[in-house]
Amino acid sequence: MATLWVALDVSEREAAEARMACLAPHRTFKVGLELYHRIGPEGVLHWTQQGYEIFLDMKLHDIPRTVAGAVANLARLGVSLITLHVSGGRQMLEAAREAAPSTSLIGVTVLTSLGSEDLAGLGYTSSLPELVALYAQTARVAGLAGVVVSAPELPAIQREWPRARLVVPGIRWPGEAADDQKRVGQPEAIVAQGGTDLVLGRGLWQTADPVGRLEALKRLAT
């Protein structure tokens, strides 16, 4: 059964709570950088104390000691998942895991908004699938709970690391715009291929009936 994380990609607490109310009794939400930098840790704590499960998509990337300290403080908010960039290196990932042993830490491999040409422009010589596989292996060795991957790389990572939490953003329905995402996938295929956690962002709100779309997805994911 996959968990459906609804991304609260808005700038104001009121707008986030309006979306939460619209989808009630849904309880699993993702808070990213945009909203976190508005509501802060107190805002997140307020929701976890109300029984919401929060995926804190902080995409941390710094020296090991700094990331470990940040993860320890974030874990105290009672959040379920925290993301950090695998490109920060194995030592950083291990320091984070030691700092928050009971929180699921998820490694960001390659952002779904990046394509092969972007990686080449940044000086990477590995192909995109090779890089994602290498990052997933690094996350696994460092003891993380799983990785963020996009739909095209999901089957390969699932084969290599079947017990991982495989968090998949960039979900779109047939005929819908990819927006700034370059690697997108459709929900049926992602669930069938072993995605354990689906991130629902613009795809959920692009329809006139987000509640109906979420209900249909819940049936698919169970």
Positions touching ligand C5P (CB under 6 A) are 7, 9, 32, 57, 108, 111-112, 148, 169-171, 179, 181, 199, 201-203
Number of Cβ within a 10 Å radius of residue 20: 18
Q: How far is the CB of 181 from ligand C5P (least distance, A)?
A: 5
Position of minimal CB gap to ligand C5P: 201
Interior CA angle at 196 toward 221 and 216, to 5°? Answer: 20
Q: Under DSSP, is residue 141 helix (H, G, I), strand (E, B) or coil? A: helix
Q: List, in order, residues 6 or more apart from 189 with CB less than 8 Å away.
A: 151
Q: How far is the CB of 119 from ligand C5P (least distance, A)?
A: 14
Measured from the CB atom, the residue of 64 and 203 that comes closer to ligand C5P is: 203
Measured from the CB atom, the residue of 101 and 173 that comes closer to ligand C5P is: 173
Measured from the CB atom, the residue of 98 and 117 that comes closer to ligand C5P is: 117
Measured from the CB atom, the residue of 97 and 135 that comes closer to ligand C5P is: 135
Q: Evaluate the CA torsion angle 212, 213, 216, 221 in order and state its sign.
A: negative
- In this structure, the strands spanning 146-148 and 3-7 are unpaired
Q: Evaluate the CA torsion angle 47, 198, 218, 196 in order and state its sign.
A: negative
Active site residues: 59
Q: How far is the CB of 154 from ligand C5P (least distance, A)?
A: 12
Q: How far is the CB of 202 from ligand C5P (least distance, A)?
A: 3
CA distance 203 to 221: 16
